Amino acid sequence: MRVDWRLPALLAASAGALLWAVPFAWMAVAAMRPGVPSDIASLTPPGPFGPGNFQEAWHSGSFPLWYLNTFVVCGGILAVQLVTVSAAGYVFARLTFPGRDCLFGMFLLQLLLVPPLLIVPNLATLVSLHLYDTLLGIMAPYFASAFGTFLMRQTFRSIPRDYEEAAMLEGATVPALIRHVLVPLARPGLAAFAIVSVTAHWNEFLWPLMAVSSSSNQVLTVGLASFASGAEAGSAWGIVAAGTFLVAGPLILLFLVFQRRFVASLVFSGIK
Amino acid sequence: MLAPALLFLAAFTYWPLLHVLGDSLTVGRFVGQHAFGLDNYRRLFVDPHFGRAAWNNAVYAAGTIVPSLFLALLFALALRDTTRLTTVLRTLVAMPLMIPLVAAAALFSFILLPGEGLLDFYLAKLGLPMINWLGDTDLALGSIIAITVWKNAGYYMLFFLAGLAAVPPELLDAATIDGAGAWRRFRNITLPMLGPTFAFVVPMAILNALTQVDHVVTMTQGGPADATNLLLYYIYQQAAQNYDVGLASSATVISVATLLALSLISFRLLERGIYYES
């Protein structure tokens, strides 16, 4: 008789997935336990529960400022990227000129030459552009996106040329054509790119840490690092859990609500 | 129209590359003149901290890539059928990819805390002694590796799930009818057809192993005694703490060269084994 592996595999995967969720479970439970309970590690404590840690974290950290800075950084990067990747994607999808493939190769190489690796020279560039310790400085290295350019090239290629030819006959210029004909048709591609871009920059740490020095320019991840080390020093683990939740929560919630969209976009981001 | 993208690409990818290459070869800076030479590289290669960081990074790369890809593949195989249960389980495994690495570091700072931390709390219930996971030079790198595996396995699982969805079910059914067991179907059909998935997941995992050190920055600062020092952390230290531009630049050049070489080699090797559907 042949062994059916499906049920044992599913049971093992269930056990593994529950193990994977333990850090999140602890975060949720510990964040809701005010004070400094001695069994703060327990995943099934008797109580009491309350939102005190969130209030404490909110007031002892600069969360409103960090949220604002993170929104500005993610939004600013995305806004500029949408323009640059649409324009560059159009060029690589529709125009032919000498050296195009070589140039496209140079774009693709940026997939590997990520800013965290180039922190040293990028920092020198920021200083010489007088962008050190500004939010614009955090954003600048990401304004051109190889992934976005590639994604928009693929998206534009899948759109029939008939639309453009019709618009051209009516006398539309190329920028107007992109803006009013191609971009609306490419909305799914742009949405996928937006998800990947915002996720990446919401979660980024090392570059924003290096690029700013004053506390008024810190983003959520950088704020969390200093906030958590302060709270850890006082063994206020419930507050650490609450602070971590405040930083990680928004994307987790979006992920749970729009899971299909997220997974499709993230998977596409890997298919370079 | 290409100009804006090209300008930013030049300013923040290719200019820095030339800049860092130049800085790595600049040995003495005097007013108005530079001397060029390989002295930074000589200093780098004799620096025991750099040697340790390079070795640690090799261990870290192997220790994160192999287990996280293996676990990702196992999860994907077990959860490939879409049911309500598998959808929930996939979500649980994939969730760590949505959180910042510093948030994961904050959670694991507590989980790995000696004594009252989560791991020791439950190990104590099994009667096991407490362990200083991050403070012991023999365990610290392993602990950092475990955090990375937890964070990334779900991400790679998503790619394997997408790859598995592309395997034609008729092929597997035909093999079953011909009497092939589960292992042979996996070995001879599923695994070869996942070739393209491996061909981009492996270079991506190499990239992650060389460019994600946020947990090292916040949890161990490379310690204890350099046990968790990785190349990018070494670069960060030289740049942000020692202000040694020469060492930071030459280490950056070595890292970039290693990354490009390893990605290209792994991609070529894996691509050669790819089964293409005609």
pLDDT tens per residue across span A39-76: 888 888 887 888 989 998 998 889 999 999 999 999 99
Q: Which of A142-151, B29-38, B262-271 has the highest mean pLDDT?
A: A142-151
The Cα of B191 is separated from the nearest Cα of chain A by a number of Å equal to 17
Note whether B20 contacts A: Cβ–Cβ < 8 A. Answer: yes
In this structure, are strands B26-30 and B33-36 parallel, antiparallel, or unpaired? antiparallel
Residue B214's pLDDT band (cuts 50, 70, 90): very high
Q: Which of A169-183, B83-97, B232-246 has the lowest mean pLDDT?
A: A169-183
- A219 within some domain: yes
The single residue listed with the structure tokens 């598998």 is B86
Which residue of chain B comes nearest to A235, CA vs CA? B110
Q: Cβ separation of A118 and B252 shorter than 8 Å?
A: yes
Q: Could you tell me the CATH number of the domain that includes residue A103?
A: 1.10.3720.10
- A22 within some domain: no
The Cα of A121 is separated from the nearest Cα of chain B by a number of Å equal to 5
d(CA B46, CA B23): 19
pLDDT at position B79, please? Answer: 92
Fold of B36-165+191-272: MetI-like fold (1.10.3720)
More confident: B62 or B37? B62
Nearest-CB residue to B249 (from A91, A120, A267): A120
In this model, does residue B156 exceed pLDDT 90?
yes
Portion of chain A with pLDDT greater than 90, in percent: 45
Q: Cβ separation of B109 and A240 shorter than 8 Å?
A: yes
- A10 within some domain: no
Residue B28's pLDDT band (cuts 50, 70, 90): low
**Helix B48-78 and helix A6-31: axis angle, to 10°?**
120
Q: Which two tokens stand for residue B93?
A: 């495994």
d(CA B5, CA B58): 34
pLDDT at position A272, please? Answer: 38
Note whether B246 contacts A: Cβ–Cβ < 8 A. Answer: no
Nearest-CB residue to B201 (from A83, A144, A270): A270
Which residue of chain A comes nearest to B4, CA vs CA? A84
Q: Cβ separation of A243 and B106 shorter than 8 Å?
A: yes
Q: Which amino acid is at A144?
A: A
In this model, does residue B30 exceed pLDDT 60?
no
Q: Cβ separation of B2 and A202 shorter than 8 Å?
A: no
Residues of A whose CB is below 8 A from B206: none
Nearest-CB residue to B89 (from A2, A17, A221): A17
Q: Give the number of beta-carbon pairs within 8 Å between A and B.
A: 260
pLDDT at position B93, please? Answer: 95
Q: Is the ipTM of this complex over 0.85?
A: yes
**Residue A249 sits in which domain range?**
60-270
Nearest-CB residue to B89 (from A14, A149, A241): A14
Nearest-CB residue to A20 (from B92, B158, B162): B92
In this model, does residue A4 exceed pLDDT 80?
no
In this model, does residue A192 exceed pLDDT 90?
no
The domain locations on chain B are 36-165+191-272
The Cα of A205 is separated from the nearest Cα of chain B by a number of Å equal to 6
Q: Cβ separation of A119 and B235 shorter than 8 Å?
A: yes
Region A174-178: mean pLDDT is 83
Note whether B164 contacts A: Cβ–Cβ < 8 A. Answer: no
Residues of A whose CB is below 8 A from B236: 119, 206, 210
pLDDT at position B277, please? Answer: 45
Note whether A136 contacts B: Cβ–Cβ < 8 A. Answer: no
In this model, does residue B113 exceed pLDDT 80?
yes
Residue B29's pLDDT band (cuts 50, 70, 90): low
Mean pLDDT of chain A: 88
A270, B204 Cβ separation under 8 angstroms: yes
More confident: A74 or B178? A74
Residues of B whose CB is below 8 A from A112: 203, 207, 259-260, 263
pLDDT at position A17, please? Answer: 95
Domain count, chain A: 1
Residue-wise pLDDT for B262-274, tens only, equals 988 888 887 776 6
The Cα of B138 is separated from the nearest Cα of chain A by a number of Å equal to 24
Region A100-122: mean pLDDT is 88
